[in-house]
Amino acid sequence: MSLQSDMLAQSDMLACREMIKEGSHTFHAASKVLPRRISDPAIALYAFCRVADDAVDLGLDRAAAVELLKDRLDRACRGVPRAYPSDRAFADVVARFSIPPAIPEALIEGLEWDAQGRRFETLSDLYSYCARVAGTVGVMMTLVMGQRKPDIVARACDLGCAMQLTNIARDIGEDARNGRIYMPLSWMREAGLDPETWLANPKFTPEIASIVKRLIDTADALYDRATLGIANLPRSCRPGIFAARALYAEIGREVERSGLDSVSSRAVVSTGRKLAVLARLLAFQETEWAPAKYLPAKFGDMEETKFLVDAVIAHPVRELPARQKVKPIEQKVAWLVDLFTRLERRDQMLQRSRV
């Protein structure tokens, strides 16, 4: 790589990091626990996914935004990205880590479903959506970590889908006020709710509470399944992914503490509670970070995510760079706890300055 190219790559990564700082404190913090060889590609992936999501969610012409994203993705996968930092950084990650184009293409398809206002009749239909908008991200992260075994990739899909179900359970009221329903329509009818009538006047009811509970329980089952895959990631990567899993699962606990009412307000996990969750990670014994000794041949993979696993199996692999020496797990997780402590102090100072 020439000096000019190296400087451009560094500039692109800096831009992606700034985007992450503004867009997701949790992801930014969790990325700090990953080794640099993983965190930089992870940030590049997240930045491109964030740009794609915002283009569809915030754009006035969503259909046109989707078509533009398809072109940007095609160019990035062919190694001729558009002149945006996120696109250039993403193109580099796709090439270096042999990411099948079918994976980010599925992500764009999921965003296209959002643009169309698609609704989901069954849980299986909702899984298909989650596989595209979140399972794809889990798969790409797993490939960046150098893992391509089908069972581990399938567990990454489980984790991504669990996180998306958590988002849906948390954002029911916010989505409804934007004219969207992500709850399975069949679940609403089973609870005695007409989707259109409820959407016209979204209110929290015991029936909605029962649906929120089903979504959280479904997510928790997937979080449990995903744990086996995390345990088989490289040792240096496990703390960051375990932290992300734990922090996201805690959103479900916060929704439960609010009485399952995610219509009247949106659950937010406080910094103090995040610190408590991360402190529990510090209590893990070394044996609990060790790789699982085996992955069952029949683990009940979701049919809705199988096409992502198949795409990884079929794609040719480029040799990854040699691993670097990493810091002890306890040191990395302790750093993350310290980061959240500093963020909490900063928030308190900002609040006092406004008084």
List, for residues 285-332, the tens digit of each pLDDT value. Answer: 444 544 444 444 445 679 999 999 999 999 988 765 555 554 554 455
Say whether pLDDT at 335 is over 50.
no
Q: How sure is the predictor about 58, in pLDDT bands with cuts at 50, 70 and 90?
A: low
Is residue 240 a contact partner of residue 333, using CB atoms and an 8 Å limit?
A: no
Contacts of 261 (CB under 8 A, 6+ apart): 204, 209
List, for residues 84-108, the tens digit of each pLDDT value. Answer: 888 888 899 999 999 999 999 999 9
Q: Domains of the chain by range and CATH?
A: 1-97 (1.10.600.10), 100-316 (1.10.600.10)
Q: How many CA atoms lie within 13 A of 254 on its CB side?
A: 23
